[in-house]
């Protein structure tokens, strides 16, 4: 079968794919929400005094950072129902998006715990000491002095992790999620793999534009929030 490349299919793919971007964002958004919450808890465990908590949190982070996304996805997708089976709970009716959000939340939490931990530790102890010396309580010192500064340090890393999340999220199509990647897959299957390249190119452009937009957004955010800090400018 003579395969030939026809650029027209690239343009045709865009209107077909773009409506599904919101699914991609929905999954990413939920994962960020839950992942950040869990990430805070893990970071607190790492920074706290309990050795056991530290070991658990560090072990979790290592385990998740060494696991490829599709492996994690399948572990969650097949594993959780199986565990539930042992307790007599039937999970086969649950929408697969739940499993997807669980997977990427777990993954994002591991990354977030490191981002939060290192941002917190980068703030000089003297800031805290000065704050309590002028009469702030511990809580006030954290809230008004430490957190705002740590937030700025964390921002670029948060942006990177967010980008990674969106890219890794593309793998959700393997268990049938119809986000922008899933739709591309459907289109290609529908055409019996003809002109797959053109569709993938369109898909890659969509992702590219999204990532540039997020990058620019975070650069702007960094500028807005770092009034009191010197921003190192890479060429």
Partner 1 sequence: MLEIKNIHKSFGKNEILKGVDLRIDKGDVVVILGPSGSGKTTLLRCINFLEKADQGHAIFGAADVNLKTASKKQIHDIRQKVAFVFQNYNLFNNKTALENVTEGLIIGRRVPKAEAIEIGKKALDKVGLSEKYHSYPIELSGGQQQRVGIARAVALNPDIILFDEPTSALDPELVGEVLTVMKNIAKEGTTMLVVTHEMSFAKDVANRVVFMDGGVIVEEGSPKEIFTNPKEERTQQFLRRVLPEDYIFYI
Partner 2 sequence: MSDGLNYSFLVKTFFTALSGVPTALMITIVALFIALPLGFMLALTRINRIPVLHRFAQVYVSFVRGTPVIVQIFIIYSSVPLVLTSFFKKFHIETNVYDINPIWYAFIVFSLNTTAILIEVFRSAISTVSKGQLEAAYSVGLTNVQAFRRIIIPQTLVVALPNICTATVNLIKATSLGYAMSLQEITLRAKVAANVGYNYVEAYIDIFLVYLILCSLVEYLFKIYEKRLRKYKAANA
* CA gap 82, 85 in Å, rounded: 5
144 binds, among partner 1, partner 2, none (CB under 5 to 8 A by kind): partner 1
By CB under 8 A, is residue 70 in contact with partner 2? Answer: yes
Residue 70, both tokens: 């599709």
* CA gap 18, 6 in Å, rounded: 20
By CB under 8 A, is residue 62 in contact with partner 2? Answer: yes
Is residue 201 within 8 Å of 7, Cβ to Cβ? no
By CB under 8 A, is residue 219 in contact with partner 2? Answer: no
φ, ψ dihedrals at 20, nearest 5°: -90, 0
Task: Give the H or E element holding residue 84.
Answer: helix 69-86
126 binds, among partner 1, partner 2, none (CB under 5 to 8 A by kind): partner 1
Is residue 16 within 8 Å of 188, Cβ to Cβ? no
Residue 195 Cβ vs partner 2, minimum distance, rounded to whole Å = 9
* Start-end of H helices in 142-195: 147-169, 180-190
The angle subtended at Cα 26 by Cα 80 and Cα 222, nearest 5°, is: 115
By CB under 8 A, is residue 175 in contact with partner 2? Answer: no
Count of residues in contact with partner 2, rule CB under 8 A: 39
* CA gap 153, 230 in Å, rounded: 11
Question: Closest CB to partner 1 among 6 and 133?
Answer: 133
By CB under 8 A, is residue 127 in contact with partner 1? Answer: yes
210 binds, among partner 1, partner 2, none (CB under 5 to 8 A by kind): partner 2
Q: Which stretch binds partner 1 (CB under 8 A): 86-94, 111-119, 123-131, 209-217?
A: 123-131
Which residues in 145-164 contact partner 1 (CB under 8 A)? 145, 148-149, 152
* CA gap 226, 152 in Å, rounded: 6
Count of residues in contact with partner 1, rule CB under 8 A: 22
Q: Which stretch binds partner 2 (CB under 8 A): 11-19, 49-57, 67-75, 135-143?
A: 67-75
Is residue 180 within 8 Å of 206, Cβ to Cβ? yes
Enumerate binding residues for partner 2 (CB under 8 A): 3, 5, 62-63, 65-72, 74-75, 78-79, 82, 85-86, 88, 163, 167-168, 170-171, 181, 196-197, 200-201, 203-204, 207-208, 210-212, 234-235
């Amino acid at each position: 079968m003579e395969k030939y490349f026809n650029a027209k299919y690239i343009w045709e793919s865009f209107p077909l794919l773009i409506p599904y971007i919101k699914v991609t964002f929905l999954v990413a958004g939920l994962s960020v929400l839950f992942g950040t919450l869990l990430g805070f808890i893990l970071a607190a465990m790492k920074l706290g005094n309990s050795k056991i908590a530290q070991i658990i949190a560090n072990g979790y982070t290592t385990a998740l950072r060494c696991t490829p996304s599709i492996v994690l996805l399948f572990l969650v997708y097949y594993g959780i129902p199986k565990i539930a089976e042992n307790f007599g709970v039937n999970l086969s009716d649950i929408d697969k998006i739940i499993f997807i959000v669980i997977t990427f939340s777990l993954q994002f939490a591991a990354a977030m715990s490191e981002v939060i931990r290192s941002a917190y530790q980068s703030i000089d102890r003297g800031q805290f000491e000065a704050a309590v010396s002028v009469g702030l309580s511990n809580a006030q010192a954290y809230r008004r002095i430490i957190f705002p500064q740590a937030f700025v340090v964390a921002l670029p890393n948060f942006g990177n992790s967010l980008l990674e999340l969106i890219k890794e999220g593309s793998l959700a199509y393997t268990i049938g999620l119809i986000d922008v990647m899933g739709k591309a897959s459907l289109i290609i299957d529908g055409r019996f793999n003809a002109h797959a390249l053109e569709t993938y190119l369109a898909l890659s452009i969509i992702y590219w534009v999204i990532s540039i937009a997020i990058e620019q957004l975070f650069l702007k955010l960094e500028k807005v929030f770092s009034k009191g800090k010197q921003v190192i400018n890479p060429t």
